[in-house]
Amino acid sequence: MRKLINNSENFRLTQEQIEAYLASKNRSSESLLTAYNLSNDESYLREAMEKDPENPRVLLTSLQITSDPAETLKTLEVLKRVDPNNALGNLLSAKALLDQGDIEAALQEMELGQDKSIESYLNDQIRNTEEAFLSAGFSPLESKFSALNSCGNASRLRLGDLSRGLMKSATSIQDNEDTQIREQIRNNQLVMANQIRSSGNYLLDSIVADRVLSYALQVQQTPEAEAQIAANRERNKDLAKQAERIGCLMSYDSIPDSEWSEYFDRLQQSGEISAIEWMLSKHP
């Protein structure tokens, strides 16, 4: 594993390898998203948008090249129609509405998504990327490692931005003004924190959920809330330390590749936190 990490910069697909992968997949929308993720070449994403404009993953990924809130809202209206049980459509719409300065509409949108779960399709992205590396001749372990390092979750960061914006709006409301909106902000933040935490078992999910919860508690401005915020900070520190320990273990030659392969499989099946706990229990 140590050799793999030391040579990780070499684990990239060339343009020729990406095109070969696309050809093997008949340039499907999913393979085009993988090509975009690996190359950051917007032409692949735009081709996917033209080929499959109502694919939820295509719609979510297209937000990465859209900065205008009005255009974002148009895209999210389609997402809410084709993927109605996905809370991301509502939550990201709330973010765009908040960017436009319409906090009441943003809160209404969040409430529409309260009974839904969040689906970011991250595992699909990881599986497809792993397949692309395998098709280029990389070993199974190299492919698993490279796929996980190549995939991000931009929607989680957007939800963190939404929560931060709501907190700023809440703190700008004076005590003698609309306390109902402050209460709505707090309640919606609490629901969103639970949605993020239950959507996956990745480290980023837990960190963003705790951050959202902290923003919600800041609205309360009570000693109990401050204590909970401090506890959340400690939880994040502990998670970061666990992740650092995994990084240290990767530098050991004594751990067989088969264990790391199982670690990466567990990461996708049960989530990052469960995989970290499993590996640390074997190598405390």
Is 111 a member of any domain?
no
Expressed as residue numbers, the domain containing 214 is 153-169+177-284
In this prediction the pTM is 0.88
Q: Over the stretch 53-71, which tens digit does the pLDDT of each residue have?
A: 999 999 999 999 988 899 9
- Measured CA to CA in angstroms, residue 173 lies from 39, 93, 168, 178 at distances of 44, 22, 9, 7
Cβ-contact 36, 64 below 8 angstroms: no
Is 55 a member of any domain?
yes
In the block, tokens 């902290």 appear at 214
- Point out the least confidently predicted range of 9-23, 28-42, 147-161, 238-252: 147-161
Q: Which two tokens stand for residue 22?
A: 């696309």
Is 96 a member of any domain?
no
Is 41 a member of any domain?
yes
Is 93 a member of any domain?
no
- Measured CA to CA in angstroms, residue 78 lies from 21, 56, 74, 117 at distances of 29, 9, 7, 18
Q: Over the stretch 161-186, which tens digit does the pLDDT of each residue have?
A: 898 888 888 777 655 556 788 888 88
- Give the model's pLDDT for residue 140: 94
- Give the model's pLDDT for residue 10: 67
Same domain assignment for residues 157 and 130 = no
Same domain assignment for residues 162 and 135 = no
Same domain assignment for residues 141 and 187 = no
| 8 pLDDT higher than 70 | no
The DSSP code sequence of 156-208 is HHHHHHHHHHHHHHHHHS-TTS-HHHHHHHHHHHHHHHHHHHHH---HHHHHH
Dist. CA 36–CA 189, nearest whole Å:
32
- Give the model's pLDDT for residue 260: 94
Is 205 a member of any domain?
yes
Same domain assignment for residues 140 and 182 = no
Q: DSSP 3-state assignment of 269?
A: helix
Same domain assignment for residues 250 and 195 = yes
Q: Over the stretch 218-266, which tens digit does the pLDDT of each residue have?
A: 777 788 888 888 888 888 888 889 989 998 998 888 899 999 999 999 9
Same domain assignment for residues 277 and 164 = yes
Instruction: Compute the C-alpha angle 49/52/57, nearest 5°.
Output: 75
Same domain assignment for residues 22 and 157 = no
Same domain assignment for residues 144 and 198 = no
Q: Tell me how many domains the chain contains.
A: 2
Cβ-contact 166, 154 below 8 angstroms: no
Dist. CA 127–CA 125, nearest whole Å:
6
- Give the model's pLDDT for residue 158: 85
Same domain assignment for residues 6 and 128 = yes
Dist. CA 149–CA 126, nearest whole Å:
9
Same domain assignment for residues 17 and 37 = yes
Same domain assignment for residues 240 and 280 = yes
- Give the model's pLDDT for residue 49: 97
Is 108 a member of any domain?
no
Same domain assignment for residues 207 and 143 = no
Is 102 a member of any domain?
no
Region for residue 66 given its phi and psi (left: phi exceeds 0; alpha: psi -120 to 50; beta: otherwise):
beta
- Measured CA to CA in angstroms, residue 79 lies from 60, 91, 115 at distances of 8, 12, 17
- Give the model's pLDDT for residue 174: 56
How many residues in total does the chain contain?
A: 284
